[in-house]
Structure 1
Amino acid sequence: MTDNHRTTGKQQTQSQLVAMLLDSQGVHLNQKQAELLVTFAKSKGRLEPPKNYYNSQHKNQVNDKTRLEKLGFIGVDVPDSGKNSADKQLVFDCIKRVATKPSPDIIVLGLADRDFAGLITVLKDLRKTVIVFARRKSASQKLINLVGEDNFHDVDELSSLCAGLKPQLENQKKLSIEADKLSA
C-alpha cells in the first residue's frame, strides 16, 4: 500500500500557496468528491480560491458550476464549441498564475486527458509540485507517468485519501487563529 499523504520529497508546510484548477469537461465530481478535493488541497497549504473551467452551453456543466461555487470555486465559463477550448483556457490561466508573485508552490489539477502534458512539464520545470486528480480508467498513462504515482489520484479514492485530514485541518485553523491573536 502506498503512502497517499506523500506528494513529493519536499517538505509540505502551511506557508505554501496552493492553486487548484478543475476541468469540469474532463472530470465530473459529485458533491462529496468536490468537498473532499477542497479538503485535500487545504491540507497542502493556503488554498487560493479554486477555479472551475466549464462550458455554459452544456446544462450539466452549468449545474456543476453552481454547486461548486457554494464550495468557493470561481467559475470560468468557456462557451466555445471549439475542441479543447476549456483546456486551453485552463492552461493559459495556470501559466499566467505561476508567472505572478507570489507564485503557488503546489498546483492541484482536476483533469483527464494528456492535453495537459505540456502544462505539467512546464510546471515541473518551474519546480512546482503538481498533483493530478482524474479517473484512473480514463486518464492517459502519459499523464500518470508525468506526475508520478505519488502525485496522481483517482477521484473515486478521495474518501480514503482524505481520511484523517479533518482533525489536522482543525488543528491548523486553531494555530492560525492563535498566531493572528499574537500578531494583533
Structure 2
Amino acid sequence: MKKVMQATSVQPTMKSKFSVSIHWDYENISDTNLAENLIIFGQLRGDLVNKKAYAKRWKKFASAKNILKKHNFCLVDALLDIKNSADYRCMFDCIDAVKSDSPPDVFIFVAGDGDYAHVIRLLKCRGKQIIIFARHLSDSKKLKKLAHECYFIDDLPRLIMEGVNNS
C-alpha cells in the first residue's frame, strides 16, 4: 500500500494542529483491540475531535459495545435495512461534518472497501486529508488512489511506534 503523502497535503489555517476525525466501519473491521491504537494514531496526527464506529445493528457486537464506549467512541446504528447501510451512514456523517462550521482537517477511515470513493472525492475537493486503514486483501485500489495515505490495519502498531519516535 502507498504510504507517502501526496505533495498537495492540507495545511491547517489559523490553528496550531490539525483536527482529526475517525470513522470506523466496524462491520468491515471488527476488532476492539484496534480502538486504543486508532486513538493514539489520531492523536499523533492532531486534535482528535471525533471517534465514530458504525454497524447496522450493535446487538450482534454486544461485547464490543462496552469496550468501544470505554474508549469514548460514538456507536452509530445504521438503521436502514439495506446492504451497506453502515457505509451509507458513515458517508452521510462525513458530508455533514465537512459542511459544519468547524470541519475536521483529517478524516481517518477504517474500512477499505470501495464504497467510500464518492465521499472521499468530495472531502478532498474541500481540502481535507484522507487516511485509510484496510485489511489485507480487502483494500480497494480505487481508495488507494484517492487517499493521501493508505495502510494495512496490521501496520498500525508499527506506525504508532514510528510516530512516537519521530515526535
Interval containing the TM-score (normalised by the shorter chain): 0.7 to 0.9
Deviations 1:93-120 (A, max 9, x none): 1100110111111111111210100011
Identity level (%) = 30
**TM-score normalised according to structure 2 size:** 0.85
Structure 1 residues 116-135: aligned runs within 5 Å: 116-135=116-135
**TM-score normalised according to structure 1 size:** 0.78
**1:166, distance to aligned residue in structure 2 (A):** 4.7
In the alignment, is residue 27 of structure 1 matched against residue 25 of structure 2?
A: no
Contact preservation (8 Å) 1:18, 1:108: yes
Match of 1:15 among 17, 39, 51: 17
One-letter amino acid of the counterpart of residue 39, structure 1: I
Contact preservation (8 Å) 1:39, 1:165: no
**1:62, distance to aligned residue in structure 2 (A):** 3.3
**1:47, distance to aligned residue in structure 2 (A):** 0.3
Question: Which stretches in structure 2 are left out of the alignment for 5+ residues?
Answer: none
Question: Which stretches in structure 1 are left out of the alignment for 5+ residues?
Answer: 170-184
Kindly indicate which of the two structures has a greater share of residues assigned to helix. Answer: 1
* Counterpart position of 1:152: 150
Kindly indicate which of the two structures has a greater share of residues assigned to strand. Answer: 2
One-letter amino acid of the counterpart of residue 66, structure 1: N
Structure 1 residues 22-171: aligned runs within 5 Å: 22-31=24-33, 33-56=34-57, 59=60, 61-148=61-148, 151-166=149-164
Contact preservation (8 Å) 2:54, 2:86: yes
Q: In 1, Cα distance between the equivalents of 2:106 and 2:84?
A: 24
One-letter amino acid of the counterpart of residue 147, structure 2: V
